[in-house]
Structure 1
Amino acid sequence: MMAQPLTIGFDADDTLWHNERFYRLTEARFAEFLADFAEAEHLSERLLQAEKRNLGRYGFGIKGFTLSMIETAIEVTDGRVPAATIRDILEAGREMLEHPVETLPHARETLERLSGRHRLVLITKGDLFDQERKLAASGLGDYFHAVEIVSDKSRVTYERIFAAHGDGPDRSMMIGNSLKSDVIPAIEAGAWGVFVPHDLTWSHEHAEEPGTAPRFRKIAHLGEVDTVLAEIGW
């Protein structure tokens, strides 16, 4: 007898497609813009502090990142940042909002295999317009039964989503590259949490692996999702 569908949540950025590398490239350009005022390492630290301070105001995404770059530029120059530099920062932010979407290995074929057997839900945080743009450009949208673009990811977030799009957390799984956002809170909600490491995960998303949690799994790439499903009987 075929098992009833499991609800499987997928993170988007750096799980299904490349994202963080565009932030790293832009941050390198930002360091060049302000090379006369601060060393790159110091600037990176100040920018990270600004990003963390501003998460509650601007949320996750490129727009908040751009505003944090401007704020950092004003701070490290004691308010003397040239208008031309502000213009360059804004242009760099606009370029990020237009970057092409490149899916990660095994993403498309994994979604295609699973979409006929389970309920797939895209669960991503960030700017609404930008996430919708990337999903459309990726060509992966048709594989998902639902899309949830949220301001943050917590235990309550997963309880709500897995209840709305399935049979609750107990019969659900979340797959992503962030232990802090994708895996740990999903496990806390009662779901399975599958960690797919990415080389460029943002430092703010780092956390210790919940190695003793019975519903924690770690895979090398999305092509190994079927192995996990077979192991748990799905």
Structure 2
Amino acid sequence: MEIDYSNIKVIGFDADDTLWVNETYFREAEETFAQLLSPYETMNKIDQELFMMEMKNLPLYGYGIKGFVLSMVEMALELSNNQVSNQTISKILDIGKDMLNKQVELLPGVEEVLKSLSKQYRLILVTKGDLLDQERKLEKSGLTNYFHHIEVVSDKQESNYSKLLGHLDIDPSEFLMVGNSLKSDVLPLINIKAKAVHVPFHTTWAHEEVHESETNGKSYLTIGSLLDLLPLLKNQTN
């Protein structure tokens, strides 16, 4: 079924793994952490246990690098029965600092797409995670001026989107969300009668994965690159 985008007036963009690389750095950090803790457990087991610790702590720490580091420290203490050295704890903290100091690597076509679409649509950025870290990445990205509004939310559920659209006086039928996560950037929007385009990233955090049954009957488009948005929306009228 062809989706009609002619009524769209506002386009929302996810940030991490939609505009710039993010999950890749978490995977690298997980591997480094597992190597540090390898005297206590297998790397595969460490990876599984760390994920469970992150899920347990998510309601307390929320999304982002800082909560991830706290979960690594807690996991190190638990796996080592509180025997882990101060030096190892220090190295875990360094993993987090290294992640926070990463350069922002834009994904292909990002600036071209934002520059083009900003001439016809109102663009907003909707991302979740640590406010300070997201502000830092946005500043480093050089993309700030393309967005009419920037929102860092604690989570991306239907209620978060409904509240944001209400605050900005945006009719859901006139809103399109673009992002790499079916769970966070697509399904909640469809459920509130907005539209969504899925742009998969090559790496997906396990927490963001959805079962095929959750997408059955849902009307959305998957594209291979952000650049595919341009022909998709070309000649659409507001």
Aligned to 1:217: 221
**Aligned equivalents of 2:170, 2:54: Cα separation in 1:** 36
Q: Is contact 2:186–2:197 with CA below 8 Å preserved after alignment? A: yes
Q: Give the superposition deviation at 1:166.
A: 4.7
Within-5 A mapping of 1:100-115:
100-115=103-118
Aligned to 2:100: 97
Relative to structure 1, is the Cα distance of residues 5 and 194 closer, same or farther in structure 2, using a 3 angstrom cutoff?
Answer: closer
Q: Which ranges of structure 1 fall in alignment gaps of 5 or more residues?
A: none
Aligned with 2:63 (options 60, 65, 71): 60
Q: Is contact 1:119–1:166 with CA below 8 Å preserved after alignment? A: no
- Report how many aligned residue pairs link the two structures: 231
Aligned to 1:133: 136
Aligned to 2:168: 165
- 1:15 aligns to 2:35 (yes or no): no
Q: Is contact 1:155–1:188 with CA below 8 Å preserved after alignment? A: yes
**Aligned equivalents of 1:117, 1:166: Cα separation in 2:** 18
**Aligned equivalents of 2:216, 2:201: Cα separation in 1:** 18
**Aligned equivalents of 1:199, 1:229: Cα separation in 2:** 24
Q: Is contact 1:179–1:208 with CA below 8 Å preserved after alignment? A: no
Within-5 A mapping of 1:194-233:
194-208=197-211, 210-214=215-219, 216-230=220-234
Aligned to 1:150: 153
Q: Is contact 2:178–2:199 with CA below 8 Å preserved after alignment? A: yes
Q: Which has the higher contact order (CA 8 A, sep 6+)?
A: 2
Aligned to 1:178: 181
Q: Provide runs of 4+ in structure 1 moved above 6 Å.
A: none
Deviations 1:110-136 (A, max 9, x none): 000011111111000000000000000
**Aligned equivalents of 2:194, 2:224: Cα separation in 1:** 20
Q: Is contact 1:7–1:162 with CA below 8 Å preserved after alignment? A: no
Deviations 1:57-116 (A, max 9, x none): 000000000000011111111111111110100011111111100000111100000111
Q: Secondary structure at 2:104's aligned position in 1?
A: coil
Tell me which moved more, 187-196 or 124-133. Answer: 187-196
Relative to structure 1, is the Cα distance of residues 5 and 199 closer, same or farther in structure 2, using a 3 angstrom cutoff?
Answer: closer
Q: Percent identity?
A: 43
Within-5 A mapping of 1:75-94:
75-94=78-97
**Aligned equivalents of 1:180, 1:208: Cα separation in 2:** 10
Q: Is contact 2:16–2:22 with CA below 8 Å preserved after alignment? A: yes
Q: Secondary structure at 1:38's aligned position in 2?
A: coil
Q: Secondary structure at 2:38's aligned position in 1?
A: coil
Relative to structure 1, is the Cα distance of residues 8 and 147 closer, same or farther in structure 2, using a 3 angstrom cutoff?
Answer: same
Deviations 1:134-180 (A, max 9, x none): 00000011100000000001111111222333532111011100111
